[in-house]
Amino acid sequence: MSDATSADWGDGFTARRALAKSISAIESGGPEALEIEQRALQQPAAAHVLGITGPPGAGKSSLISALLPHALDHYGAVAILAVDPSSSLTGGALLGDRVRMDYRHFDQKVFFRSMASRGYQGGIAAATRASVNVLDAAGWPLVIIETLGIGQVELDVMELADRVAVVLNPGWGDSFQANKAGLTEQGDAFVLNKADRPGLENAKILLEQSLQCLPAATPPRVFTTIATDDEGIPELWQSLADLMQEAPKIRQSRRRCEAVREGAKTQLLRDFEAFLASPEAARSESAAPEGAADLLQQFYREQN
């Protein structure tokens, strides 16, 4: 086992570096990543997870920065995972979410990690879920996830977070006409940030109308904020904190089940590949899927 897998993620500076290294190992993927997450799952789930999603430039990072002092008051410590896109051409990325943070609130009680999507298509990174589980196991009571900018397929954060806030700006209706429906189904709370920009009233009416159409008994609330001036932030936080308290346990267990399922799946795959490389497989002539499945069953029978 490497440092990253056996690491003590508890309090203190060394632990912090170990935690960061564990997340790197998760990002690298492979057996070590699985091992780390499985170890994390041995701890009971305790963290609250808040997702912040919305189009690029809506002010997600700025909002997190503004919410941070409130979140710290409430939870005592906060971890943030901020996802930005990787270039599909070079694999490189510019991760700029930290620049929006007000470092005056940063100290040992804030853990901030920038994450590149590395080709993963769900608005987060492939490593995000496992990182959340590790942060949870390490005792971080609140994890905030900033997604990379919403598109139609970026629903993964809903699987991960206990609550999701969707951030939009005045004028959002112009640019998001097409996927309005998909968008409005995502949020537990809606934030019209940049309320200092023209078009606020229209945007609000439009949004509330769309939300009325949802099947839910009480449609999610709409907040207006100016993240950069702290306007509307205390109210937003209060409501988010309440929502988190009442969050259905289902999401929490989903994020863990998913981890277990993926662990199992990967384990099976790996076994199978080992099997394919084995003399038994070499003996076989069948390459068709059914044949392969048969072979795997046979392999397991032989193992036991």
Ligand X SMILES: Nc1nc2c(ncn2[C@@H]2O[C@H](COP(=O)(O)OP(=O)(O)O)[C@@H](O)[C@H]2O)c(=O)[nH]1
Which span sits near ligand X by CB under 6 A: 202-210, 220-228, 246-254, 277-285? 220-228
CA–CA distance, 275 with 296 (Å, rounded to integer) = 7
Q: How far is CA 9 from CA 39, 144, 161, 245, in A?
A: 11, 18, 21, 25
Q: Dihedrals φ, ψ of 75, to 5°?
A: -105, -15
CA–CA distance, 41 with 14 (Å, rounded to integer) = 22
By the rule CB under 6 A, 227 interacts with ligand X: yes
Q: Which one of other proteins, ligand X, Mg ion, none is in contact with 89 (Cβ closer than 5 to 8 A by kind)?
A: other proteins
Asked whether the beta carbons of 147 and 83 are under 8 A apart, the reply is yes
By the rule CB under 8 A, 92 interacts with other proteins: yes
By the rule CB under 5 A, 97 interacts with Mg ion: yes
Q: How many C-alpha atoms does 191 have within 13 Å on its Cβ side?
A: 30
Which span sits near Mg ion by CB under 5 A: 61-69, 211-219, 243-251, 263-271? 61-69
Q: How far is CA 16 from CA 8, 13, 108, in A?
A: 9, 5, 9
By the rule CB under 8 A, 98 interacts with other proteins: yes
CA–CA distance, 97 with 60 (Å, rounded to integer) = 9
Write the interaction track for ligand X spanning residues 51-80; mark x where CB under 6 A is met and - where it is not.
---x-xxxxxxx------------------
Site for ligand X in 235-294 (CB under 6 A): none
Residues of this chain that bind other proteins (CB under 8 A): 13, 16-17, 20-21, 23-24, 27-33, 62, 86-96, 98-99, 103, 106, 111-114, 116, 118-120, 125-127, 228-229, 266, 269
Residues of this chain that bind Mg ion (CB under 5 A): 60-61, 97
Residues of this chain that bind ligand X (CB under 6 A): 54, 56-62, 97, 100, 193-194, 196-197, 226-228
